[in-house]
Amino acid sequence: MYNRVFLVGNLARDPELRYTPAGVAVARFAIAVNRPKKGGDSQADFISVVAWRRLAEICAEYLKKGRQVAVSGRLEIRTFTGKDGQPRSFSEVTLDDMQMLGKRTDEPGKAENVSVNSSEEQADEEIPF
């Protein structure tokens, strides 16, 4: 089996950085990905993304709403029971790799193309869940 998602889109909101009780960083954000429709129009899908550990801290520091980004990771679908007793589900991409695209908004004219891989940055970190 293979579960891999590659997306390119713009951040719909700034990443929200939090820490677990064990001190593990986790950042959540959403990206807007255009889906072309017949007739030349397009519609945006808003995809939830979660990053862990150092990658979460990097996302929180460098990513801002509107920034173009390429992400890859695995798709996870979670189910739960809502307050009304009805089953609910949601999907999110657990980030493995992130690449900032386009130009930085705080330095006009200066191109930036930075790539971060979660497996490289976690090599010397052992944090239990």
Please give the Cα distance from 52 to 48 (Å, whole number). 14
Number of CB atoms found within 10 A of residue 84's CB = 6
Cα–Cα–Cα angle for 21, 26, 56, nearest 5°? 140
Identify the CATH number of the domain defined by range 5-116. Answer: 2.40.50.140
Dig out the tokens for 31 from the structure. Answer: 């990206």
Number of CB atoms found within 10 A of residue 34's CB = 13
In the beta sheet, which residues pair with residue 45?
Answer: 33
The residue ranges of every structural domain in the chain are 5-116
Report pLDDT digits (tens) over 3-39. 899 999 999 999 999 999 999 999 999 999 988 887 7
Report pLDDT digits (tens) over 74-129. 999 988 888 898 999 989 999 999 999 976 555 444 445 555 565 544 433 433 33
Q: 46, 60 in Cβ contact below 8 A? A: no
Dig out the tokens for 70 from the structure. Answer: 């390429």
Whole-model pTM? 0.73
